[in-house]
Amino acid sequence: MSYIKAEEILPKEVIEIIQQYASGVNIYIPCKEKTEWGSQTNSRVYYRTRNNKICERHREGKSVPELAYEYSLSEKSIRRILRETRRSA
């Protein structure tokens, strides 16, 4: 996350009001409209597809250690993916 100087985007009057409450500290201003995680980058689709492939390969007989090696994940992560995908199915 990168920071933007308030002077670059806010009017002086607004900065002076904010300084009454938080002078010289970093503050986080949340987005006005929240978006779902992964909706802007398609991460959600990528991980859902990957996890479904992991489950499919496991059903076909691939072991947890083999899947961990193949997908560069820990065995614990593979087990979590298998467990969570079974729950949501």
**Tell me: the pLDDT tens digits for 21-77?**
998 898 888 888 877 776 777 888 899 999 999 999 999 999 999 999 999 999 999
48 within a domain of the structure (yes/no):
yes
Q: Say how many domains are in the chain.
A: 1
Residue 65 located in a structural domain? yes
Distance CA 51, CA 77 (A): 10
Domain holding 50, by residue range, is 6-88
Is residue 1 domain-resident? no
Q: Sign of the CA dihedral 69, 70, 75, 76? A: positive
Residue 14 in any domain: the answer is yes
Confidence at residue 89, expressed as pLDDT on a 0 to 100 scale: 65
